[in-house]
Chains A and B, each alone.
Chain A
Amino acid sequence: DTQLTQSPSFLSASVGDRVTITCRASQDIRTYLAWYQQKPGKAPNLLIYGASTLQSGVPSRFSGSGSGTEFSLTISSLQPEDFATYFCQQFGSYPLTFGGGTKVEI
Chain B
Amino acid sequence: EVHLVESGGGLVQPGGSLRLSCATSGFTFSDFWMTWVRQAPGQGLEWVANINQDGSDTYYVDSVKGRFTISRDNAKNSLYLQLNSLRVDDTAVYYCARDRGGSGWSDHDHWGQGTLLTVSS
**Which residues of A line the B interface, CB within 8 A?**
32, 34, 36, 38, 42-46, 49, 55, 87, 89, 91-92, 94-101
Bound CA–CA A37/B46 (angstroms): 15
Whether B47 sits at the interface, judged by CB under 8 Å, is: yes
Q: How far is the CB of B34 from chain A (nearest CB, A)?
A: 13
Number of A-B contacts (CB under 8 A): 54
Can you list 14 A-B pairs with a CB-CB distance of less than 8 A? Answer: A36-B45, A43-B95, A43-B112, A44-B95, A44-B111, A89-B47, A95-B59, A95-B60, A95-B62, A96-B50, A96-B105, A98-B47, A99-B44, A101-B45
Residue from B61, B104, B107, B114 within 8 A of A89 (CB atoms): B107
Q: Which single residue of chain A is at the shortest CB-CB distance from B106?
A: A91
Asked if residues B44 and A95 are in contact (CB atoms below 8 Å), the reply is no
Whether B108 sits at the interface, judged by CB under 8 Å, is: yes
Asked if residues A98 and B44 are in contact (CB atoms below 8 Å), the reply is yes
| Contact A49-B59, Cβ < 8 Å, known A43-B95, A100-B44 | no
